[in-house]
Structure 1
Amino acid sequence: MALTPGLVLYLWFPITKPTPKKKFAVLGPIEPKPMLLFIDSDINPYVNNTDDLRAHHIVMDVLNHCFLEYDSWVDCTYPVGYDLEQLISAVEKDPTAIRGTISNHLRHSLCSCIASSKLWPPAKAKRFIDALEQPTTFNF
């Protein structure tokens, strides 16, 4: 099996509030620790009222991402870390956790958003952008 930056995964996230749950997320860099961006069906009302945070939510259309049921939003405000061994285990146990790949247009939009963001530490932003622009397959 393999993982590549730009995949959309459906994974269990114990950090979600108010309760842990499964969520869609875009995979960024994989090693040494995977980073992902959450995909949300709606934008939080607080975010919608804040121009800077609103600009960090990029539309992910169902037309180019047939694994979605409706247009969604990729939250580029911050990356979420995931343990590599847990990620591999989750995908091995349920290969359907890999739902598809983001479009080239969305890949470019995410990179542009992250590159211009004042919310991301520069080294982390560079690592995420490099992974999306030059994806390297991680085989396991």
Structure 2
Amino acid sequence: MAKEQVEINGIHFEVDMSTAKRIDTFKVGDSVKVLNKDYSDTHIQDGTIIGFYNFKELPTIQVAVFEKGFTTADIKIININKDTKDQQILPSTPDSLDLDKDSVVEAMDNSITEKQHGLDSLRNKRDWFIKYYGKYFEKAEVTEHD
């Protein structure tokens, strides 16, 4: 048996490491590391616990995961419960977050600007369609009645 001396809150224990279980305690707002196991990739992301839902059949922890690319940033909500197979969480500390607030905000602002340009373009196309769609049929009606 592999016994090991551990200190917990100033008290020394001898623990059989082959049968020891780790118990993590979480609360809303805690920083976590999320292990994502995709089909071809395994990667670790930073996250924050945003809720606990004590469903009778499937108690669930909800985590906001921060996805930061070179020029993009997003927040994805994931649910962790006994049926979750592709994600695991571990406690983390806020200072171990691999995120820079200013660069995330800048990436989100860039995304907002890009989507605003797309929205403006779509509105212009819609307005053009409304303005000229009726004129097309007005000409068609005039030539049919002549």
Which TM bucket (shorter chain)? 0.3 to 0.5
* Structure with the bigger percentage of strand: 2
Higher relative contact order at CA 8 Å, sep ≥6: structure 1 or structure 2?
A: 1
Please say which structure displays the higher CA radius of gyration.
2
Q: When the two structures are superposed, what TM-score results if normalisation uses the length of structure 1?
A: 0.33
